[in-house]
Amino acid sequence: MKAIGKLFDRIVQRVNINLRELAYDVNPFIKGLIPFRQFVKFYAFYGISPNHPLDLQFRHSNLAGSYFLGKCRVTNSILYKSDIRGDELKKEGDIFRYPNFEIPVSKDERIDIEDSILIKTLVHNFSHDPETLEKFFITNTVSFHYANIHGSPTDGSFLGPLATVDLTTMSDCVIGAFSYIQAGEISHLDIAPGTVWVRSPGNFNFLYRYPQDKLNQYIYFAQGHPPQGFLIDFVEDRKESFQPVFDAVNIEPSVSIPQSASLDRFAVIKPKTHISDNVLVAQRAFLQNAWLGKGANAQENCYIINSRLEGFNVTAHGAKIIEADLGQNVFVGFNSFLRGKPDCRLSIGKGNIIMPHTIIDIKEPLSVPDGHLVWGLINNADDLKANSIPIEAFAKIKGAKKQENMFFEGDGAIFTAAFQNRIHHILETNGAFFNGNNKRGHAQKNQNISFNTIQPYPEGEQVGVYPTIIIRP
Amino acid sequence: MDNYLVKDLMVPLSEYATVQEGSTLYEAVLALEKAQEEFDHTKYRHRGVLILDKNKRVIGKWSHLDALKALEPKPDDDNGIKGLSQFGFSSRFISGLRKRQRLKAAPLQDLCSTTLDMKVEDFMQATVEEQYIDHEASLDIAIHQLVLGNYLSLLVTKTGNVIGILRLADVFAAVYHTMKECSV
């Protein structure tokens, strides 16, 4: 384990150098978190299909249990059970639109990971930074369980468990557990756990911060301990279900799949699940007694259990829906946790926007009316009143609003339009509107992907390190 | 101005209002009032109370501004406003929230009654090295220290012990006096 040990120490030191201004030491958080023997235990795998570019390069890295698609280069890094999805990268000749600029993309974009440790992290989407259009970089960074690096070039940063950085270029930042950041560009910030921050400078600024004592019950991460809390327990309790799908080479789907839908072979499908037309189910999704209407999707690390989604629903990366009924066009943001009970179900009306990193966890029946914006921690009807607002009313905000722990400054109409446009775009990209001929998306393009596996040195000085591998068409 | 030495302008510690560490804000207010009554009314009024530890060493100063700060809503009542500037909210937005919060807070009379039992050290300004000056130092040095640190007073020492206070008002009076002499 000498080589992997040296690699580990080298990365931790580089991250600490970047975070020295914040006086942050990542070592106590990560040391011993993943036993080195685990790095040899799991194979890595990659997908090939005629619908995706193929250019994978791995050098002096460990890739245990990780998945790669598209164009990606990994150097001097440790990627543990992470998903690196390069199926939305920009292509040569694309035009990138940015305020006051229309920038031609000069070559195919690539995800470039160097000197980083990513644990159970999802990397997806494309770089939204006009300064680095062709390179979606992640360097000198450590991220923990179920973090999402989504369209966010990242350098010298620390992402706690269940943290999400979305459409944001980030350097030298600490993002606390269960925080969601979409702010364009940030640097040298230490963001407390449970911060939900959506900012477009000059247009709007939305901020919600979880009460720490209540958040700790759901997710808590401290030095010297693995991530704890109900959200982690929930996932760990279902971990065994994924073992068979990773052990078997060929798996026949256990449910009927329409021709226009896509069910990833690395998803877990339990009985009584129904999949309609144009549905997309991504790898590491977990469906149990789940009814997915036309155009619904379940992205990576999603759990949909004993629930019904009427159609055109976005269930973003890491979202969990249990004992709930969702109307059409409901958006459930990243890592949200919506849980009813068998005897007191949760009902979400049509057209709702459940903001990223929202927790609705109830002990009595609760209905969210149609067309609301919902955020934060909700345990009952009073919390819902405090942490929601009709989308139409929100769109009328001009200037400032404070509602309990939520702060908003700017133009509510631009904010709601940005969300609605993005939801439409996600559905479009996922193929929800496919009509048999046009508007193909991931649900149609991802149906026939072949998977190959790669493995590291099994013993010796280089044990755990993958040899240099270059995979091209 | 070289003719003036710090010891010529300082208020001796014995004439200054002091309270022991652990005193309440009410006790500090009483000490300030007593010192003012006993002080020479031809000079500038007292503007602070010194806090002494059990060995009679000065550990901090409690000023008028500190007294007003005690009346402000506490961080626990901050209602999440603290730290908003980190997230790019405008100063106008933040000050608007603070004003609204202040208006919602308890009336001044209620605030006063709840504040009086608070400990003085929770609101004092702890002393720092740059606030000390030797009693033999010249006025120029004193002005430099006051301006550099943006202080309202300095603690005057003799062989390491605090023997008095050099107040900004007294320094200004000396400067004013010198200027008048120059113009004649």
Write out chain A residues lying below 8 Å of B93, CB-based.
Answer: 400, 407, 409
Report d(CA A65, CA A312) in Å as an integer.
Answer: 31
Give A8 to chain B, closest Cα distance, Å: 32
Give A202 to chain B, closest Cα distance, Å: 10
Place of tokens 């405090």: A386
Report d(CA A180, CA A334) in Å as an integer.
Answer: 8
With an 8 Å Cβ cutoff, are B89 and A409 in contact?
Answer: yes
Q: Which residues neighbour A101 within 8 Å (Cβ) at sequence distance 6 or greater?
A: A130
Give A456 to chain B, closest Cα distance, Å: 43
With an 8 Å Cβ cutoff, are A205 and B97 in contact?
Answer: no
Answer whether residue B75 shows pLDDT above 90.
no
With an 8 Å Cβ cutoff, are B80 and A405 in contact?
Answer: yes
Write out chain A residues lying below 8 Å of B97, CB-based.
Answer: 400, 402, 407
Q: What mean pLDDT do residues B93-119 have?
A: 78
Which is nearest to A403 in space by CA: A383, A382, A384, A387?
A: A387
State the pLDDT at residue B45.
66
Residue A44 bridge partners (DSSP)? A454
Report d(CA B181, CA A193) in Å as an integer.
Answer: 63
State the pLDDT at residue B78.
67
Structure confidence by residue, pLDDT tens digits, A368-397: 999 999 999 999 999 999 999 999 999 999
Chain B, residues 71-100, CB within 8 A of chain A, namely 80, 84, 86-90, 93, 96-97
Q: Which two tokens stand for residue A354?
A: 């459940």
Report d(CA A435, CA A392) in Å as an integer.
Answer: 30
Give the residue from chain B lying closest to A400, CA to CA: B93
Chain B, residues 104-143, CB within 8 A of chain A, namely none
Decide the pairing of beta strands A142-143 and A158-159. Answer: parallel
| Residues of chain A that touch chain B, judged by Cβ-Cβ distance less than 8 Å | 183, 189, 197, 199, 201, 205, 207, 209, 400, 402, 405, 407, 409
Q: Could you report the predicted ipTM of this complex, rounded to two decimals? A: 0.88
Chain B, residues 140-169, CB within 8 A of chain A, namely none
Q: What mean pLDDT do residues B110-116 have?
A: 72
With an 8 Å Cβ cutoff, are A207 and B89 in contact?
Answer: yes
With an 8 Å Cβ cutoff, are A205 and B80 in contact?
Answer: no
Answer whether residue B41 shows pLDDT above 70.
no
Report d(CA B83, CA B74) in Å as an integer.
Answer: 14
Phi-psi bin for A25: left (phi > 0), alpha (psi -120 to 50), beta?
A: beta
pLDDT lower than 70: segments of chain A: 1
Interface test with B, best of A213, A375, A402 (most B CBs within 10 A): A402
Place of tokens 């468990």: A161
- In degrees rounded to 5, what are phi and psi of residue A355? -60, 155
Q: pLDDT band for position B98 (50/70/90)?
A: confident
Give A400 to chain B, closest Cα distance, Å: 7
Q: pLDDT band for position B55 (50/70/90)?
A: confident
Q: Which residue among B86, B89, B97 places its CB closest to the CB of A189?
A: B86
Q: Is B142 exposed, middle or buried (0-12, 13-18, 19+ CB in 10 A)?
A: buried
Which is nearest to A329 in space by CA: A344, A311, A341?
A: A311
Using alpha carbons, list the distances in angstroms from residue A356 to A181, A182, A337, A452: 9, 10, 9, 33
State the pLDDT at residue B71.
76
Give the residue from chain B lying closest to A209, CA to CA: B80
Q: What mean pLDDT do residues B45-69 have?
A: 84
Q: Which two tokens stand for residue B178?
A: 């010198």
Give B36 to chain A, closest Cα distance, Å: 45
Interface test with B, best of A198, A200, A205 (most B CBs within 10 A): A205
Residue A472 bridge partners (DSSP)? none
Report d(CA A69, CA A48) in Å as an integer.
Answer: 7
Write out chain B residues lying below 8 Å of A197, CB-based.
Answer: 87
Write out chain B residues lying below 8 Å of A400, CB-based.
Answer: 93, 96-97
State in Å, rounded, how far the first CA of chain A is from the last one: 33
pTM for the model stands at: 0.83
Sign of the dihedral through C-alpha B106, B112, B116, B122: positive
Give the residue from chain A lying closest to B95, CA to CA: A400
* DSSP string covering A217-251: HH-B--TTS--BSHHHHHHHTTGGGGHHHHH-S--
C-alpha angle A221-A151-A411 in degrees, rounded to nearest 5: 90
With an 8 Å Cβ cutoff, are A400 and B88 in contact?
Answer: no
Query: CB pairs below 8 Å between A and B: how many?
Result: 26
Write out chain A residues lying below 8 Å of B84, CB-based.
Answer: 207, 407
Give A391 to chain B, closest Cα distance, Å: 22
Report d(CA A98, CA A102) in Å as an integer.
Answer: 6
Answer whether residue B40 shows pLDDT above 70.
no
With an 8 Å Cβ cutoff, are B88 and A209 in contact?
Answer: no
State the pLDDT at residue A205.
98
Place of tokens 């101005």: B1
Answer whether residue B1 shows pLDDT above 60.
no
Decide the pairing of beta strands A450-454 and A44-48. Answer: antiparallel
Percentage of residues in chain B having pLDDT higher than 90: 24
